[in-house]
């Protein structure tokens, strides 16, 4: 029997665990050194595998597995029934409010400053600058302004004042709103609805309502009172 056939039969014997051909293959193993080597490999593992199978330690993990199952089951139930901790939720809501109001306040201050700057630096075409800082020989005062320019400047002053007042009002409201947030987090064990959360959130909302109205009025005032073509906005 050639080496390929010998190897094939040997492998089939191992795969099927059918050792009927064992003595026949053992005789054929002397055919060549290659046959002999394949047969020796088989014998090495035939000797080593039973010894290896004996080295498996005994274990009893029944209690450990059931304890772990109970623990995982308990933690799942706990997660399922755990109250939603309002700290992150309400904290993020307050942060959103604060960020929104801060943006509005900064925007309004920026508008105020911008309009003030326009008032000094910009000149309306066809009119004299309010003050150039350069001495002239003219006997006529340089601050003389045309009536439309004065009314425009008055509008800008009003818008700036409204913006500034709005910013101050926002800051004051923020201070009050922050003081309404409860310092202590609710107890995590409770499964009751978070009444305290709804109360103080409602308080903040009520507190914020005037500032919302003010922002709305101020924006309407600014948008409708300042001619678009005369500003850089």
Partner 1 sequence: MNEDDAAQVRSCLDGNTEAMRAFVARFQSSIFGLCYRMLGHRQDAEDVVQEVFVRAFRSLHQWDPNRTLKPWLLTIAANRCRTFLSKRSRRPVPSEFAADLAVSQSVEELQDLGEELQNAISMLRDDHRTCFILFHQENLSCQEIGDILERPEGTIKTWLHRSRQELAANLRQRGIVPEVRHESR
Contact residues toward partner 1 (CB under 8 A) are 11, 14-15, 17, 26, 29, 36, 39-41, 43-45, 47-49, 51-57, 59-62, 64-66, 68-69, 72
The answer to whether 171 and 105 are in contact (CB under 8 A) is yes
State the nearest-atom distance from the C-beta of 179 to partner 1, in Å: 48
Q: Which 8-state DSSP code applies to residue 187?
A: P
State the nearest-atom distance from the C-beta of 82 to partner 1, in Å: 20
State the nearest-atom distance from the C-beta of 60 to partner 1, in Å: 7
Nearer of residues 22 and 84 to partner 1, judged by Cβ: 22
Nearer of residues 80 and 135 to partner 1, judged by Cβ: 80
Distances (CA, A) of 212 to 107, 115, 170, 228: 15, 23, 9, 24
Nearer of residues 16 and 123 to partner 1, judged by Cβ: 16
Nearer of residues 62 and 184 to partner 1, judged by Cβ: 62
Nearer of residues 55 and 191 to partner 1, judged by Cβ: 55
- Side-chain-side CA neighbours of residue 95 (13 Å): 6
The answer to whether 222 and 159 are in contact (CB under 8 A) is yes
State the nearest-atom distance from the C-beta of 46 to partner 1, in Å: 8
The answer to whether 158 and 226 are in contact (CB under 8 A) is no
Q: Which residues, other chains included, contact 7 with Cβ-Cβ below 8 Å and sequence gap of 6+?
A: 38
Give the closest residue to 223 by CA, choosing from 99, 111, 102.
111
State the nearest-atom distance from the C-beta of 12 to partner 1, in Å: 9
The answer to whether 158 and 111 are in contact (CB under 8 A) is no
């Amino acid at each position: 029997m050639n080496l390929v056939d010998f190897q094939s039969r040997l492998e089939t014997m191992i795969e099927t665990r059918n050792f009927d051909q064992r003595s026949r293959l053992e005789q054929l193993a002397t055919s060549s050194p290659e046959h002999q080597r394949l047969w020796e490999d088989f014998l090495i593992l035939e000797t080593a595998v039973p010894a290896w199978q004996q080295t498996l330690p005994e274990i009893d993990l029944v209690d450990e597995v059931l304890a772990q199952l109970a623990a995982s089951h308990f933690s799942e139930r706990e997660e399922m029934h755990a109250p939603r901790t309002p700290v992150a939720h309400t904290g993020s809501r307050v942060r959103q409010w604060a960020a929104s109001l801060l943006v509005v306040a900064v925007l309004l201050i920026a508008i105020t400053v911008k309009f003030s700057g326009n008032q000094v630096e910009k000149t309306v075409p066809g009119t004299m600058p309010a003050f150039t800082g350069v001495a002239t020989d003219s006997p006529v005062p340089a601050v003389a302004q045309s009536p439309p320019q004065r009314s425009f400047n008055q509008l800008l002053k009003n818008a700036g004042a409204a913006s500034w007042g709005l910013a101050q009002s926002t800051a004051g409201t923020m201070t009050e709103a922050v003081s309404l947030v409860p310092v202590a987090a609710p107890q995590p064990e409770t499964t009751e609805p978070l009444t305290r959360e709804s109360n103080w959130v409602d308080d903040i909302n009520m507190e914020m309502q005037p500032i919302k109205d003010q922002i709305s009025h101020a924006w309407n005032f600014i948008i409708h009172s300042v001619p678009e073509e005369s500003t850089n906005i």
